[in-house]
Amino acid sequence: MTRVRFKVGIYLWLHNREYIIQDRIGNKFKLLEESTEQINWLSEKELVQYFFTGQLNFQKMADTETVNHYQAVDFSEIYESLKAEVQRKEKYVLAVLEQKLSTYTSSSLAPIIQQVAQKTEDKHPPSHITLYRWLKDYLPSGGDIRSLIPRHQEKGNFNPKITPEVDKLIKEVITEVYLTLECPNIASIYDVVICRILAENNLRKSQIKAALKIPHRATIYRQIQQLDTIEKAVSRYGKRTASLMYKPVKEGPRPSRPLERVEIDHTLLPFFVVDTDTRMPIGTPSLTTAVDKYSGVIVGYYLSFEPFSSLSVMQCLLHAIHPKDYVKNKFPSVKKDWNVYGIMEILVVDNGKEFYSQHFQDACQQLGISIQYTPPYMPWYKSNVERTFSSYNTQLLQGQPGALFQEFTTQYDYDPKKNAVVSLEALQEMIHIFIVDIHNQSFHSQFCTPRAEVWSKGITEYPPSLPVNLQDLRVLVGAVEKRVITRRGVELYGLYYNSCELARLRSNYEGEDMRRRGGLRQRDKATIKYDPTDLSKIYVLDPTNHQFIVVPAMNQEYTQGLTLWQHRVIKNLAAIESKRVDIVALALAKQKIQEIVEREWQKSSKGKTRKSMARWLGIGRDDLKVDEFTFNNEDQSIPRQNLSKMADKELASLFNRSSEITGISDLGNADNTLINLLDNQQI
């Protein structure tokens, strides 16, 4: 189930007890406990808080014997072939649901099947019985796309008839020869495949191995036909030509409800901020904002010194989906409520590379979010978020000391860096006041009422959607890597992660490796996810149930609150000074860097250097961290600690061992080296 709303007839589990919503009066829900028939009245706000604290889960409505076992997996780890089949099924199912049929018969489904088949150029449309079976899986799941994943394992052996070596050769030829701007025909691709197989057979003959069979020409045609049409056009004709061929060039649809269409984008705020303690200028922060097209309210944002990346997008989406209950406690100066939360239906983005990452696309698809890319050179396609950035500049920043505008710096004797007085913490409070009390309360041009009132009326008729399981939001956190599980655990960027649960996974992988004869194949690599802003833990995929387990770092003292960017700076400095990186060298280098940064912070006035130092010190990173929300009761988020506050006992132990490490006990003149690393380090 991708999303669900609080309404009459919904089953849910609260405090490990099963309830059903029997009635709704205003904002109150009548809950009946199934076992004791006890009645409880709870408000929508209370139910939402229970859900985001992990105390409430939604009960699946389908019979457990008929539920597709893939509904519990991480959709990003499903095979690409299964994803393509699911997307094809969903088009037929959504076309039927749009018609709002009362009964599903052959006469009512046949015209829809024919229409969708012609529109999608489907050469093998389903029968009305097959489509009815898809609906039986899709409707009880609440519209979960994972319910349409085909259960091939129940239909027999569908393994390819060609050997894996031949299949790999075919894919390599398609990638290297067919998907190029020279646009060769398929017949020439078959000739190249034959030549590759003959060359491989000559090599295998010298190694006394069985020769590979030449596949039929239809195999090559079939694999090329299975390629994504748009991706194939991008590789053969270029991105712009493919966009003109397949992307619609017309005015976007007008939404009819909140969260139907949300626009997101980045900007570099033209505003210098200062350090809280020294009051020295740091630099200009980066801002990622998401705006609801229907109501015009800002649903979430992310402010930091991090460069524009998928990390900024994921953090902004997490902030948009979660409720904003922290505002009153953290910023008492904010007068109004920011009652905005829920999963958007369509997310409008530009053509930045972070929006084309596979992790971002898989995360949106698992949460049921459709991604819509704006055509090139058409910024008005997401005009709401562009106007919001203009409002930030004109209504919030313009006229404030530290504002950076071209007309002031060129025509007048004004230096924004020298006049900056606002810290990043104060800027966070200013942004909250602007969003909640100014922007969301401003006049909506179409409805002639405040934007917040448009939102409140809209969610009364169309309540915001939530993921059925809080674990589904974990897909928005972390980058994806492949690593081998060894006795020492998982190695990631020189750090080791291990646990008892990981040892069980290792035994599964080693069992498979032992069954491989001759040791000709490499050991399977496990899929891991990690948060680039916190390397204290990683998530490792369990292939038996397609779910992730949490694995902590072996050295928590070093990794707590450590970002990937900071770790790379430490490794580079430690490698330069000691020529040998181990965990003690990293700890000593980390302490040395902290001392240098704090000293240079007082002396440096160079904008780029001070901005890099602010990023190192984590200024602004703790203000609105989404990982403050707990994913489940077992996986509590680790609070970030100040990098300079390491335990005295542990530090003393580290420095006592410094003599064992060549070059670490005496770092020498590493100050200039560190400053250069902070300026030049890029992730």
For the chain, domain boundaries:
11-58, 79-148, 164-246, 261-444, 477-554, 564-680
CA-based nearest residue to 271, from 283, 263, 259, 261: 283
- Output the CA–CA distances (angstroms, integers) from residue 15 to 62, 238, 466, 630, in the order listed: 22, 54, 19, 16
Q: Tell me the whole-structure pTM to 2 decimals.
A: 0.50
Q: Which span out of 76-85, 311-320, 540-549, 641-650 was modeled with the highest average pLDDT?
A: 311-320
Report the pLDDT averaged over residues 545-561.
85
Q: Would you say residue 46 has pLDDT above 50?
A: yes
Q: Would you say residue 644 has pLDDT above 80?
A: no
CATH number of the structural domain 261-444:
3.30.420.10
Confidence of residue 260 (pLDDT cuts 50, 70, 90): very high
Element (H, E) at 110: helix 106-120
Check the CA dihedral 166-170-173-175 and report its sign: negative
* Lowest-pLDDT range of 338-347, 353-362, 428-437, 467-476: 467-476
* Lowest-pLDDT range of 390-394, 475-479, 654-658: 654-658
What's residue 274's pLDDT?
A: 79
Report the pLDDT averaged over residues 60-69.
45
| Residue 602 vs residue 449, higher pLDDT | 449
Amino acid letter for position 339: N
Report the pLDDT averaged over residues 363-376.
86
The SS3 of residue 527 is strand
Report the pLDDT averaged over residues 79-95.
84
Amino acid letter for position 450: P
* Lowest-pLDDT range of 187-191, 517-521, 626-630: 626-630
Report the pLDDT averaged over residues 497-511.
79
For the chain, the 3-state helix, strand and coil shares in percent, each to the nearest 5, are 45, 15, 40
* Lowest-pLDDT range of 107-116, 130-139, 317-326, 563-572: 563-572
What's residue 174's pLDDT?
A: 92
% of the chain at pLDDT higher than 90: 12
Instruction: Report the interhelical angle of 564-578 vs 583-603 (nearest 10°).
Output: 100
What's residue 667's pLDDT?
A: 39
What's residue 664's pLDDT?
A: 33
What's residue 623's pLDDT?
A: 53
Q: Which span out of 2-16, 174-188, 581-595 was modeled with the highest average pLDDT?
A: 174-188
**Beta-carbon neighbour count of residue 172 at 10 Å?**
13
Q: Would you say residue 25 has pLDDT above 50?
A: yes
What's residue 642's pLDDT?
A: 39
Q: Would you say residue 216 has pLDDT above 70?
A: yes
What's residue 672's pLDDT?
A: 55
Q: Would you say residue 595 has pLDDT above 80?
A: no
Half-sphere exposure of 558 (CA within 13 A, CB side): 22
pLDDT digits over 144-187, tens only? 777 787 766 566 665 667 888 888 899 999 999 999 988 888 88
Report the pLDDT averaged over residues 432-441.
90
Confidence of residue 371 (pLDDT cuts 50, 70, 90): very high
- Beta-carbon contacts of 406 under 8 Å, excluding residues fewer than 6 positions away, are none
CA-based nearest residue to 254, from 369, 323, 151, 348: 348
Q: Would you say residue 300 has pLDDT above 90?
A: yes
What's residue 142's pLDDT?
A: 66
Q: Would you say residue 408 has pLDDT above 50?
A: no
Q: Quote the mean pLDDT of the chain.
A: 77
Write down the H helix ranges in 433-524. 451-461, 500-514
Query: By the 8 A CB rule, do 293 and 260 touch?
Result: yes
Report the pLDDT averaged over residues 46-63.
75
